[in-house]
Amino acid sequence: MSKEHFHGQAIYNPSLLSKEELKRYFVARNSLLNRLLDDLAREQSGYAPQHQLLIGLRGTGKTTLLHRLAIAIEEDEALKQNWLPLTFPEEQYNIANLADLWLNCLDALSDQLECNGQNAASEQLDQHISRLPRQDATEALELLMAQAGQQGKGLLLLIDNIDLVFNRLKKQHWVLRETLQSESRLLIIGASSTAIEASYQYDAAFYDFFKIDELKGLTQLEMQQTLLHLAEIKQNTALTELITHDPARVKTIHSLTGGNPRTTILLYNVLVQGLLKGDVLSDLDGLLDQVTPLYKARFEELPDQAQQMVDALAIHWDPMNASQLAKTLDWDVNKVSAQLNRLQNIGIVEKQPPAQGKRHLFQISERFFNIWYLMRASRRVRRRLIWLVQFLRLFFSADEQPQHAKQRLQKIPEAIELAQRAFALDSENLESLHTLLILLINNQRWQETIPLFKQFISEASLEYLESGWQDIILLFQEIITIDQAESALQCLDETIAGERWRPLREALMVIVSGNERYLNGIAPEVRRPAEKIVNQLRLKNNE
């Protein structure tokens, strides 16, 4: 398959794309790209430049951004006069000391000279490199600076996975900092999937040294725009129509993936394959199938104890504190804390604010990895996730504004009697049951409402949920108005609705507990829609 089509290698290795392809497919990070270019344009010769770090989880576009930045510099006459961008392999496993770093820079410079058509200069540099003592950092740096002088340009070091480089140079951090501070012709823009300890610890060499940008997932709108852009490139009008007229399908997957750009590209392929008969569950299955080799290999690379902890966190789904993990794993808390630190350092686990008290919570960093793990677990665990997917699909399909027509029903006994008759004639009619519930609640008759309420939340089908979501919100708004939210929450937990409508259940828990931090302890895939539902439930009382 040609590089003109998306395939595994191009998705995971943007360096395999041609310059034109990379420019064409680069959509989501243009604002950051432009800001980095502006920063470079403001750098002044002879002054220490501002070094920068790009921090983001795997798949957030760090590698692609570095390659796109190099292309942009080469195509900008002013920047091209001042900077020569050097790119490196994603992982520089050969680095053991500073000499190795400077030698890698020299090799990258030679490659760039050859790419620029300066073959003689490249060959001459290769000869100089071959004569260097392999462990002499001073001579290697001197040669690098001499070459920068000959080119009359600063060297922009675009270093991917720079955390690996820093970890291997721990004993030489201060020497490296002094070099970067004193040598204005060297500028680093590095990318890392984890925060670099040496950049945020107060007594560390690179504390407050780098300007840091965090690459987060795409927003729902950005994911939709990216998919539409890809469809436009491929002239796929059918997919454009699908995305435009069924945005809930994309919004659901966005909620599950957190807007990971790499997953968005994979989603494009999945949507193309499922145009005729696909739905959101088949979209999810297709994505999971594509990421399985990567996730399986990543998990199997972990040591045994790390695998056990990742398993516990992923299956629990919601964030956990160290004490909960210790109880689940039957480990000592100190052992749990040590393992959590290791997993945080390699970007597998991330810390979350407490839901209550002062104990921080921990969760799997890459949320789609957690989804993948859940779908490989027991039938009971998978069922919880499938219910969430179905809920999200219908939740995002609902109208944006609640309909309050039933609030205008008069609070008179005759209205209740008429509703009771209608329901008696057709006890399976959820619309009639809903009307009766609203009237009973409005008349403060909650106790006789409870069995009917349980029937309603137990029998409400997915089809009803799709067309009647605003009526469901109205029902819970009325329940909150008469101060029966806690009783309603108990009813949810006593029926299947507590799991099937989990975002709604967690939103009601916020109302009942009055604890705004409660959702910190809930999985992000559930937390995000729950936050929106909290606002919907409170809407009536705020009007």
Q: What is the pLDDT of residues 271-293, one digit of tens each?
A: 888 776 778 889 999 999 999 99
| pLDDT for residue 394 | 86
pLDDT band at 509 (very low <50, low <70, confident <90, very high): very high
SS3 call for 76: coil
| pLDDT for residue 24 | 86
Contact 156, 189 (CB under 8 A): yes
pLDDT above 60 for 37: yes
Core vs surface per residue 188-225: b (16+ CB within 10 A) or e: bbbbbbbbbebbeeeebbbeebbeebebebbebebbbe
Q: What is the pLDDT of residues 205-238, one digit of tens each?
A: 888 899 999 999 999 999 999 999 999 998 999 9
Query: How many other C-beta atoms can be found within 10 angstroms of the C-beta atom of residue 63?
Result: 22
Q: What is the pLDDT of residues 451-470, one digit of tens each?
A: 999 999 998 876 677 677 88
Q: What is the mean pLDDT of residues 527-538?
A: 94
| pLDDT for residue 421 | 85
Residues linked to residue 214 through DSSP beta bridges, in sequence order: 55
| pLDDT for residue 413 | 63
Which segment, 79-93, 241-255, 506-520, is predicted with the most confidence on average?
506-520
| Distance from C-alpha of 278 to C-alpha of 260, rounded to nearest angstrom | 21
| pLDDT for residue 412 | 54
Higher pLDDT, 16 or 21: 21
pLDDT above 70 for 507: yes
| Distance from C-alpha of 21 to C-alpha of 369, rounded to nearest angstrom | 28
State how far Cα 222 lies from the chain centre: 13
pLDDT band at 149 (very low <50, low <70, confident <90, very high): very high
Please tell me the least confidently modeled range out of 27-31, 147-151, 362-366: 27-31
Type and span of the H or E element at 233? helix 220-233
Which letter does DSSP use for residue 320 in this model? Answer: B
With a pLDDT cut of 70, the percent of the chain lying above it is 93
| pLDDT for residue 404 | 45
pLDDT above 70 for 4: no
Q: What is the mean pLDDT of residues 366-380?
A: 92
Please tell me the least confidently modeled range out of 4-8, 114-118, 178-182: 4-8
pLDDT above 90 for 1: no
pLDDT above 70 for 407: no
| pLDDT for residue 400 | 44
Q: What is the mean pLDDT of residues 85-108?
A: 92
| pLDDT for residue 10 | 54
pLDDT band at 139 (very low <50, low <70, confident <90, very high): very high
pLDDT band at 8 (very low <50, low <70, confident <90, very high): very low
Helix, strand, coil percentages (3-state) for the chain, rounded to 5, are 65, 5, 25
What do you get for the CA distance between the two ends of the chain, in Å? Answer: 58
pLDDT above 50 for 323: yes
Q: What is the pLDDT of residues 51-77, one digit of tens each?
A: 999 999 888 889 999 999 999 999 999
| pLDDT for residue 541 | 59
Q: What is the mean pLDDT of residues 478-503?
A: 95
Q: What is the mean pLDDT of residues 75-80?
A: 93
